Structure formats: structure tokens, C-alpha cells
Structure 1
Amino acid sequence: MSALPFIDLKAQYAALKPSVDARIQRVLDHGQYIMGPEVKELEDKLAAFVGTRHCITVSSGTEALLIALMALDLKPGDEVITTPFTFAATAEVIVLLGGVPVFVDIEPDTCNIDASLIAAAITSKTRAIMPVSLYGQVGDMDEINAIAAAHGLAVIEDAAQSFGASYKGRRSCGLSTFGATSFFPSKPLGCYGDGGALFTDDDGLAQAAREIRVHGQSQRYTHTRVGVGGRMDTLQCAVVLAKLERFEWEIARRLAIGARYQALLEKLPVQRLALRPDRDCVWAQFTLHVQARSQVQQRLSAAGVPTAVHYPKPLHQQPAYAQWAQGQSFPHAERAAQSVMSLPMSADLSEAQQDQVILALTQALDGLEP
């Protein structure tokens, strides 16, 4: 059997080649590589898709989180409650601004932040809550928003992995003070480099974010606030515009492929992620829990099935962030870090390829000691 791609961007490009090529050529023809017309076109279409008043494209998902915190005027010493089981960027932006990440453990069945633990972590220094919609499923946003409202806090959804997902009939990124997403190539909606976007219904915060992304300028060479160089390139906006043409189809495919994976895994000795009944999951990574993970990965690799681990070490155990954990333990995050494994996943994954993955996994699990 031939080796499988972990994420099949080549198949996606082949399907979209005429549109992608035409969009890129249009930018090459007009030559407005920074803040060209495709930027506003994309922002308008993304805002309509999510259902928010504003979309501000930025240079990466990390920059989206950073600009959101800057727009909220995070000060040194301010605390932001988040999860330790996420990519480093979530805590990185807090620390870069002098803030303090306050970690709260995850739900063992979804790997999303446990909303029931957030209130106890709030102090007089808490400024915001930053839940992560991990693997493509939104967390308990109504509960989180209610806690935030009771304490006068902002909520920033780190939706780098969940763009296109739905929660109680609403889209990820349109559920809180700010929604921040990434267009990194492997994401559900990706460009061909770095890119990201912020979403909000707050006019003032949107204006602040727009100024911050262009070095704090309210107009050319008038620097109203401290900012960053955070614009999304016109070429990358053009790529996302082309990909938007079949994005609804891709979401439907991801939901179907994820459901089929879940069904095929039902009889195997693995733990599937739980899906809450009032939301869906766009499976930025199709992730499950396995025992003897390194052995399983080695066997799958030998069978031509690539895997990945998102994430092998929680942030409170990372050298750069351990100091903010103050020696605390987060057992569910620690267990997940030891057992999660992601399988090949993309909208173009065929049933034959999926069957190949499941067959290889079945064989890889056979005879392993837990």
C-alpha cells in the first residue's frame, strides 16, 4: 500500500487550481501586495460567513491573539485564564505583553478547557478568559461567557483549529468578545503561508485591532497607539478567497469523515474524543487516545500511515512557561499529552484511504501491552 499524506493539500490544490491560479494572477497583475482589494473582499466574506460585524485579517493566528489582547489593553501583571493543553502560541502572546497565564485543566473526554474550573481561578487581576477550541470542536462557550459577564471579563476564543465549526447554531469565532483564527496551511481553511483573522461585534475593538495591525496608525503616519506589523498579505487573502468557494463542501466532508472514523474506531481498544450534542467538530486534527503510543506510531509509520501528536507536553511542563504554573499539576492535560495521537485527516481523504488507516491501526494495536 502506498504511503498516505497526513494532510492532502496537493489534492485540494488540484481541485481548486483554476480558481487559485486566477486569484493569484490577479494580484500579480494589479501589484497591490500589501492591503490590496482582496483583503477587504476576504474580510467582508469571512464576516458574513461567521456572522459578525467585523473581520480583521492579520499575519498569523498568533498575531490574531496578540492583537486581541493589545486591543483589550492587557497590562503587565494582568491575568488571562487559559488551558495548558494547547500550542505554545496561546500562552506566548500573554507573556509577551507582560501578562500572566493562569492555567485551568481540561475535560478528559473532549480535551477542551473545563469551564466548571474557571470561576475558582479568577482573581482581582484577571482580565480575560482564553478558551481553545481544540481539534475543531468549540468548548462550553455559553458557560464561559456567563462566568466572564459575571466578573466583567473579556473572552477570546482561540479558534485556530475550529474555523467553520458550529456551536448551538452559531459559528466558531462569532461567540465571544473576540474570535481569533489561523489560516496556517494545515488548518480547516488555510492559505499558502501564514495568515489569520480576528472577529468581533464591538466597533471600538475592531477599530483598535485595525490600527494595531498597521503599527498603530489611525491614518498614514499618525500613530494613535502602539502596534505591530500584522497585516495579512494580499496574495494569501487571494488564496483563501479561492478556497472559500468550496469551503462549505469541505466542512461537510470533514464532518462525514470524522463521523466515519468515530464509527470505525468503536470496536478498537482506543478512546475516542467525545462530541457534545449541541455542536460539531471540523477535525483540524482527527485525534484519539491510545496506549503505548510510540509503539503504535512506529508500526503505523512502517505501514505507510503518518501520525502526529498534538501535543506531547502541556504548557505547564514546558521550560518557558513552567514558572507561571507555580508547581501546579493538571492531571487531565498531563494524561492527554501522554496518549493523544492524530490520524490522517483532510476533506479529500477517501474511504479507501480511511480504511487503509483503520486496517493499519488495527494491526498496530494487536498484541501491544498497555
Structure 2
Amino acid sequence: MKFIDLQKQYNKIKDNIDNDIKSILNRTDFVLGKKVFNLEKKLADYVGISECITCASGTDALLIPLMAENLKKNDAVFTTNFSFFATAEVISLVGATPVFVDIDKKTFNIDPQLLEKKIIEVVNKGTFKPKAIIAVDLFGQLADYRKIEKIAKKYNLFLIEDAAQSFGSSYKNKKSCSFGDVAATSFYPAKPLGCYGDGGAIFTNDKKKAEIYRSIRVHGQGEDKYDNVRVGINSRLDTLQAAILLSKLSIFNEEIEKRNKIATYYKKHLKNIVEVPFVSNNNISSWAQFSVLAESDKHRNEFIKYLESKNIPTAIFYKKLFSELEIYKNLEKSSFDISRNISSRIFSLPMHPYLDSKQLEMIVQTMKEF
């Protein structure tokens, strides 16, 4: 059994992918080829946003918009304390200062109430100037943008939706990557919509910002790639990856539906064994991960050991909080009681659209036997 089975998915769309790859090899348009621009149009239409800018990774999709904001060392960017490191890393890469906020105990996303409290605290101290918020849609569930967008507007903060794990999710039929001033997603192979390498995309309705992002992704180009009008990076999506994503996009809605059916099955049969994920009203999750809570760190370790003895793979997202990392030891400390508790108990079960009924029954039965 695989934690994520990309082979089964490939077998389903093998002919399309193989033919597209051969076609690109014959055309030799490997960088920013026709398929890249076709993909950007289809992604923008899917999300319901006017501008989509593909790039080389989900990390770059966060980094590029921050670079465009010209942030400085004393500028504060508020974000969750519980996510993959790229979320905090990009803040440091542009020279700004990350300010970590604890999470909601049910959704594991940034807590809007604690976010506003932290903003007020930073304003009152006067050491840093609040400039931006990066809200993460953890494990596929959207953050509470109804509240977060109001906070961003109230304090005039640039809001980035970190949708690395949530492409395909929605709130009241409004798609992931359509919230905030700009959104960033990842096409890393393990994501709900993933390519066969690294890739990412930026979404916005701001045409002026979109042009700046396109410039930054190609070394800050102006009229052409030798007319450099700003400092940029090399972050172009390969045409081969665009072709793979176009093939996967054709079956994506079907896969999201299957992920939700699997999650429903898990929740029904595991709710009396572990604490199962909570999904807020009017939300549809893309279920990048199905993460459950054990009673304690000890209980989690025993659970994982037993599952692995039965050849059932697991993973832990995430063992360490940003605030616990050595590189951020000089930042002001808060208690982070909720994220600390969650990180000590959480583990994830296999989740992908191609889990069959026998595999699901085996996983559930094994957990009941523990």
C-alpha cells in the first residue's frame, strides 16, 4: 500500500501524458511553451480569477508576490506557526520578519481572533510595522477568509492565500486561490493537483501586479529577457510539467469527489478511535492529507508503529513548530499551546483518489484492532 499512489493515476491518463510529452520533445518548446499558457488560462478559468502566473514551485509562488511588495527588515508578516517551512521561509528570504500566530483547535488553520490580537500587539510595541498576512489552507481546508479578509482590510495589510495544499477546495462555491489579494499554490507531485516535479502558480485579479510577477519570474525582465527592470529570479514552469498538469486537470473534479468520499468513509469508521478532521460549514476540502489526532505523543508513536507493522504507511505533518526552530530562536516567544498540542498528537493516513474499498477496510480494521 502506498501513502499516495501516483502510479494508479498515471495508468488512467497514460496515453494522454505520453503523447503530450512526445509532442513537446518534437517541438522542443521546453520553457514557457504553448502548453504553459494553455494551462494558465485553464487554471484561471477553474478558479474564477482573471490572472494566473505559473512558476517553478509553490515556494516561488509565495516568494514572488512578497518580492513585489519590497518588504524590509522591520516589516512584519503574520502567519501560522503550524505549516510546511516554505510559508515562513519566504518571509525571511525577502528580509521581512515573520510573526507567528497560533491555530484554531478544530481546523488547524490560523486563528483570526489571535491574529488580530497579535497585530494590535505589534502595532502597540512599535518595533515592527505590520505589512502582510500569509494565511495557510492546511491539509486542504480553507482558512477563515470571511474574518481574515476583514482584518486585512481593517489594518491595510497585503493578504496572501497560501493554497499549496488546497487547490480544488471551496467555500460557498468560491474556489481556493480566489481569496486575498493574491494566492499561491503548489504542483509538487503529492499535492491534490501535482505534476512530475516541482511547479507552482500565482493567482490575482490585479493586472498590474500580475505583470510584475511575470517579470520577476524571468529575472525581472522588461521588454524582453535582456531588458531587466527589476531584480527577479529564474522561476519558469517547464512545458513538460504544464502538459502533465493539463492531463491531470481533466480528471481533477472526479478525483476531488473521490477524495471526499474516502474522507467521509474514514470519518464514519474512525470517529470512535481517533479524533477525526473537522470541516467547517459550507467548506469542501481537497483533502491533501487526512490527519487524525491520537491521545498523546506516546499513543501516536505506538499507533504508527502498529500500522507500519501491517504495512500501512503514515506520516506526521508537522513535528516541529516554526517557533521551535533554531533559526527563529531570537523572535519573541508566545505560548502556542494549541499548535504545540496538535503537533504532538497528529498523524496522517493514506489519502489519494485511488484507494479501493479493500484497502480502506484494511486500514480501518487495523486501527480498530490496535
**TM-score band (shorter)?**
over 0.9
Which residue number in structure 1 is paired with residue 307 of structure 2?
300
Residue identity matched to 1:295 = E
> Could you tell me how far 1:322 is from its partner in structure 2?
3.0
Partner of 1:353: 359
Is it true that 1:174 corresponds to 2:178 in the alignment? yes
Say which is worse superposed, 195-204 or 116-125, in terms of deviation: 116-125
Distance 2:330 2:12 in 1: 47
Match of 2:66 in 1: 69
Deviation at 1:188, TM superposition (A): 0.1
> Of the candidates 122, 130, 138, which is equivalent to residue 126 of structure 1?
130
Matched with 2:12 is: 15
The CA distance in 1 between the partners of 2:272 and 2:277, in whole Å, is 14
In 2, the alpha carbon distance for the partners of 1:134 and 1:341 equals 14
Residue 141 of structure 2 is aligned to residue 141 of structure 1: no
CA distance in 2, matches of 1:151, 1:63: 26
Take 2:5 and 2:310, find their aligned partners in 1: how far apart are those partners? 18
Shift of 1:310: 0.5
> Which segments of structure 1 move beyond 4 Å, counting only runs of 4 or more?
none
Q: How does 1:170-209 map to 2 (within 5 A)?
A: 170-209=174-213
Match of 1:29 in 2: 26
Deviation string, structure 1 residues 4-47 (Cα, Å, up to 9, x no partner): 10001000000110111111111111001111111100000000
Determine helix, strand or coil for the equivalent of 1:131.
strand
Identity of aligned residues (%): 43
Matches within 5 A, 1:1-370: 4-122=1-119, 123-124=122-123, 125-220=129-224, 221-268=226-273, 270-291=274-295, 292-324=299-331, 326-364=332-370
8 Å Cα contact 2:178-2:204 kept in structure 1: yes
Tell whether the 8 Å contact from 2:186 to 2:199 is kept in structure 1 after alignment.
yes
Distance 1:76 1:33 in 2: 38
Per-residue CA deviations over 1:110-160 (Å, capped at 9, x if unaligned) read 111101111122245111110100000001011100110111111101110
Look up the SS of the partner of 2:222 in the other structure.
strand
Q: What do the CA deviations read for 1:303-333 (whole angstroms, capped 9, x no partner)?
A: 0100000001111011122322x22220111
Unaligned stretches of 5+ in structure 1? 365-370
Paired amino acid for 2:337: P
Unaligned 5+ segments in structure 2 are 124-128
* Matched pairs, number: 359
1:75 deviation in Å?
2.3
How far is the alpha carbon of 1:73 from its aligned partner?
Answer: 2.4
2 CA distance for matches of 1:32 and 1:322?
Answer: 46
Distance 1:71 1:164 in 2: 26
Conserved? CA contact 2:61–2:184, under 8 Å: yes
In 1, Cα distance between equivalents of 2:269 and 2:329: 38
| TM-score where L is the length of structure 2 | 0.95
Structure 1 Cα separation of the partners of residues 60 and 212 of structure 2: 14
Shift of 1:351: 1.7
Equivalent-residue separation in structure 2 for 1:145 and 1:351 (angstroms): 40
1:211 CA drift (Å): 0.4
Cα separation, 2, equivalents of 1:98 and 1:32:
35
Indicate if the aligned counterparts of 1:72 and 1:205 stay in contact, CA closer than 8 A. Answer: no
Q: Distance in 1 between matches of 2:27 and 2:71?
A: 39
Shift of 1:48: 0.2
Question: Counterpart of 1:338 in structure 2: which amino acid?
Answer: S
How many angstroms apart in 2 are the aligned matches of 1:322 and 1:332?
Answer: 19
Q: Distance in 2 between matches of 1:311 and 1:257?
A: 22
